[in-house]
Amino acid sequence: MRQLADTLQKRGLVVLISDLLDEPSSVVTGLRYLRARGMEVVVFHAWTTPSFTFPFQHTTTFRDLESAEEVLAVPNAVRAHYLETDRKD
């Protein structure tokens, strides 16, 4: 967000549509930086049902859409940790 803010020349409206799956303090810092640069900021928090329930049953390859990193996971082994971690954010 800082890189975006540094490229914007005039005050304006920034619309962020994101799952916000990042370190919360990092997201807040980025949003504050945009505001400090005179931007109006609107955030749409986009979630899907699987993000809340982690309904996967079979060994699955998950791919990070931003980095393309892939992780093979057994859902029954990671479900509880995923859901617990998700609630803390």
CB atoms within 10 A of CB 39: 19
Q: What is the pLDDT of residue 84?
A: 78
Q: What is the pLDDT of residue 89?
A: 45
The yes-or-no verdict on residue 56 having pLDDT over 60 is yes
CB atoms within 10 A of CB 72: 8
- Please, which residues have CB within 8 angstroms of residue 33's CB and are 6 or more apart in sequence? 1, 2, 5
Rounded Cα gap, residues 24 and 36, in angstroms: 18
Q: Which residues of 23-38 are buried (b: 16+ CB within 10 A; e: fewer)?
A: eeeebeebbebbeebe
Strand 40-45, strand 13-18: pairing:
parallel
pLDDT digits (tens, 9 = 90+) for 12-52: 999 999 888 778 888 899 999 999 999 999 999 887 777 67
The yes-or-no verdict on residue 77 having pLDDT over 50 is yes
The residue written with tokens 């994101």 in the block is: 18
Q: What is the pLDDT of residue 86?
A: 54
pLDDT digits (tens, 9 = 90+) for 79-89: 888 777 755 44
Which one has a higher pLDDT value, 67 or 51? 67
